[in-house]
Structure 1
Amino acid sequence: MFFLRTESFREFLRFYPVISSIVVIHIIIFLAVNVSMDIRQLLTGWNFAILVHDQYWRLFSSIFVHIQPMHLLFNTFSLILFGPALEAMLGRFKFILAYLGAGVIANIATLYLADLATSNVGASGAIFGLFGIYLYLLFMRPELIDANSRQIIVVIVIVGLVLTFRPGINIYGHIFGLIGGLAIGPIIFARYKGRFRL
């Protein structure tokens, strides 16, 4: 089962440097925004600040901001569980583009579809982007995914979508993160020759 992590801590750091770096960034920013309200206000994806004051960096920075411990743990755990296969397949550069691309797409959707006062934080849009990429592989490049992994992908996407429709969840971010991943999939896998298989 490919999504079961069996590496040691040192092996994980060596095999998946991008994911390891993102986890460290998550933790550092989590501590920073809970110590300093100024840093929190500077990095949060606040629609009003983006549209009225042209603070477009918030479309990127908010991907790494987590204020609640459970939000941090859930998104970081999801990244550690589901990110390594794609980092191994795509390499560092393409994985970064895919991850940030899906996260920004999710935040742009939130920017234009949600209320001007909406404040958005978290890696959920980028995580759902990974799910969208897996769905693309499932339907368009099935030769890259074994039967067990296919079942896991379907279950995870269904559960993720069901959990999306709860109070306090950025529905736009989740849905458009998934759509963003589906759109990014054919671009980043256009020249992929199947050197690695799930």
Structure 2
Amino acid sequence: MFIRTENFQTFIRLYPVVTFILALQAVLWLFFSLPAHSVVLWRDTVTGYNLGVANGEWWRLITPILLHAGFTHLLFNSMSIFLFAPALERMLGKARFLLVYAGSGIIGNIGTYVTEPLDYVHVGASGAIFGLFGVYLFMVLFRNELIGQEHSKMIITLLAFAVLMSFINSNINMMAHLFGLCGGFLLSFLCVQKKERRY
């Protein structure tokens, strides 16, 4: 379930939304890494910035999901998406998976806006990724037949570790993680259907 054995072409065919997300955030990271002054200015208009949201720049609740602070940040989040997102895209379908992923990220950013000071700046897909864990948590609690006992134990262990790290690491947007997790869990009531089949 969480071990990828597909070749490149098969991965793209089976998981087109995951592939698009991974490619888009990589392209955006490369673009915003350019030293051009205009690029830096444009990046400043799409990062998560609570004061900007307060001034009506609503897109800042969406665009930070695809942006990253550095290569390590991008790599870590991309690996998390690569490992944990494909199974959900297959189980939920492209539209519902995208709804959960984007919706959780937006909920995480709304939570950041509500709880953090106005000068708070943030980027990253972590809220959306935690939303995926929220879906898995929903399955563990209510639809265990979709993932099995072995994967359920793994998910609980990984989630506990991830939440713990959110509290320990001061550089992490803890509110995006927690709100994204809750968002994914709540969206599961809408997106995980009774007819869903095991991955």
TM-score, normalisation: structure 2: 0.95
1:126-165 equivalences under 5 Å are: 126-165=128-167
Deviates more, 1:71-80 or 1:141-150: 141-150
1:108-123 equivalences under 5 Å are: 108-123=110-125
Instruction: Please give the alpha-carbon distance, in whole angstroms, between the structure 1 residues aligned to 2:103 and 2:13.
Output: 24
Instruction: Please give the alpha-carbon distance, in whole angstroms, between the structure 2 residues aligned to 1:89 and 1:12.
Output: 15
C-alpha distance after superposition, 1:2-33 (max 9, x if no partner):
11111111110110000000001111111122
Q: Secondary structure of the residue that 2:57 maps to in structure 1? A: coil
Q: Secondary structure of the residue that 2:176 maps to in structure 1? A: helix
Shift of 1:67: 2.2
Instruction: Please give the alpha-carbon distance, in whole angstroms, between the structure 2 residues aligned to 1:43 and 1:192.
Output: 38
Which residue number corresponds to residue 174 of structure 1? 177
Which residue number corresponds to residue 197 of structure 1? 198
Shift of 1:110: 0.3
Instruction: Please give the alpha-carbon distance, in whole angstroms, between the structure 2 residues aligned to 1:149 and 1:39.
Output: 42
The Cα RMSD (Å) is 1.0
Q: Secondary structure of the residue that 2:131 maps to in structure 1? A: helix
Which residue number corresponds to residue 14 of structure 2? 15
Give the aligned residue type for 2:2.
F
Q: Does the CA-based 8 Å contact 1:82-1:130 persist in structure 2?
A: yes
Give the aligned residue type for 1:159.
F
Q: What are the ranges of 5 or more consecutive residues in structure 2 without an aligned counterpart?
A: none
Instruction: Please give the alpha-carbon distance, in whole angstroms, between the structure 1 residues aligned to 2:25 and 2:194.
Output: 30
Instruction: Please give the alpha-carbon distance, in whole angstroms, between the structure 1 residues aligned to 2:194 and 2:27.
Output: 34
C-alpha distance after superposition, 1:34-60 (max 9, x if no partner):
2121221021010001112x1101111
Q: Which runs of 4+ in 1 moved over 3 A?
A: none
